Structure 1
Amino acid sequence: MTFPASIQAPRAVLFDLDGTLADTAPDLAAAVNWLRTERGMAPTPYSVLRPTASAGARGMIGAAFGLAPGDDGYEELRLQWFERYQSNMAVHSTLFDGIVTLLQGIEDAGMAWGVVTNKPARFTDPLIPQIGLAHAGCIVSGDTMPHAKPHPAPLLEGARRLDIAPGDCWYVGDDLRDIEAGRAAGMLTVACAWGYCGAIEPQDWGADVLCATPLDLLELLLNVTRAAESTYI
């Protein structure tokens, strides 16, 4: 775990969803491999699909079919993938090890927490309660605001819903655009190496903090909270 020598305790921690709080890649991958099977194609190896999971349909279809938005056939695949995934989004998806303990520790320390994801609300709204995150202080989906991450608008909306200044929030994510969005919103940024991370190594994202596990993040939060409390003694 790496972090600045001087770091302020937050009043709230905002999290990305896919690859940060929840391991949703198995169901995302299953949906796109269903599309391949329907077309008489062999499944794409999970090891190829998993690193692209944070990019949703764009990542899955790109890895499985080599198509990008604007390419012929992409939109048809995207719509079919949406339908298949929506019907099977919580079959194998679970919270990462340590997330329950992390969130409980945040609450016990008197901090708020919430979810800010690029996942559309049609998926976020039903998935959140099924995987045990219904007690989030706020949920901002990819289509809640006119712009999605890496634009800072969704993070600023999350802070507004919690009634906490953006500068008093940390943002935690497993993708470069999470760090870009958090930085643009004026939040301390945390790169979580336990997530999907994509093609660029998380240590190269320019995050303020790099954590290997959710429990590492909890340890840091508790340490900076104790340090802040000690200044008032």
Structure 2
Amino acid sequence: MILKAVLFDLDGTLLDTAADFTTVLNTLLQQHGRPTVDYHRVRQTVSDGARAVVSMGFEQDIESPGFDTLLQSFLDAYAQHLAVGTTLFPGMAEQLTEIENRGMQWGIVTNKPARFTEPLLEALELKQRCATAICPDHVSNRKPHPEPIYLACQQLGVHPRNAIYLGDHRRDIDAGRNAGMPTVACRYGYIHDGDNIEDWGADYILSHAADLTPLMDQLTTLETTTQP
């Protein structure tokens, strides 16, 4: 393969957003006279989305009466608390610079709505550097459907075979595989206890964000050795 682009899932892969989710959830729980939950439990749930976070915190099924009201309160509060404790994962800033220095593009494919994704990237000064950011608002089908991956590739002007997709959830790996794109599972992300990422079928696994540079080197070596 000729590597031309790197695509990232957002929460749990590119950005460590769990601290802000924890703060917002616990504030809402306290307002309702409920006990707070610890950071670790929230961290494990973030990649499943806001519904899962609220359901876990309030111990309510998403179909239960009043759940939608709680969810809306959570989302409204989160919109005001997007980038207080959120950061790039350790080592990720250097990886983005390395990608750019190699003359490649990088982008995001996320199930996080644009309402939150775009101002978050702006606040972290990543919006202008990110070549594409595909959210559910931009497609008819969310991950694990390949449509968001295809749209990102279309906007980048690359074939799925010439990019890699990094994610911390099985749906990310499924989305990449469904699009015919090499996939990378991120062990450093929001992995559930007992969830074995070796079972996801990813082409590669990273234990730390800094491992991305050696992987790009490896893929470049493969590219060179397989050329006629």
Task: State the TM-score, normalizing by the size of structure 1.
Answer: 0.92
Q: What is the RMSD computed on CA atoms of the aligned residues? A: 1.6
Contact 1:28 1:56 in 2 (8 A): no
* Partner residue in 2 for 1:198: 192
Contact 1:61 1:68 in 2 (8 A): no
Contact 1:58 1:68 in 2 (8 A): no
* Uncovered stretches (5+) of structure 2, i.e. residues with no partner: none
Secondary structure of the structure 1 residue equivalent to 2:164 = strand
Shift of 1:231: 5.9
Shift of 1:230: 5.7
Contact 2:34 2:58 in 1 (8 A): no
Shift of 1:55: 1.8
* Partner residue in 2 for 1:167: 161
Distance 2:179 2:221 in 1: 26
* Partner residue in 2 for 1:32: 25
For 2:188, the aligned partner's letter is: W
Contact 1:12 1:168 in 2 (8 A): yes
Distance 2:43 2:225 in 1: 43
Which of 95, 101, 105 pairs up with 1:108?
101
Q: Deviations over 1:134-191 (max 9, x none)?
A: 2111011122111111111111110010011112111100011000111101100100
Distance 2:60 2:163 in 1: 37
Q: Does 1:223 align with 2:218?
A: yes
Contact 2:170 2:200 in 1 (8 A): yes
For 1:176, the aligned partner's letter is: R
* Partner residue in 2 for 1:4: none
Q: Does 1:186 align with 2:180?
A: yes
For 1:117, the aligned partner's letter is: T
Shift of 1:9: 4.3
Which of 116, 135, 145 pairs up with 2:139?
145
* Uncovered stretches (5+) of structure 1, i.e. residues with no partner: 1-7
Contact 1:9 1:221 in 2 (8 A): no
Distance 2:18 2:192 in 1: 12
Task: State the TM-score, normalizing by the size of structure 2.
Answer: 0.94
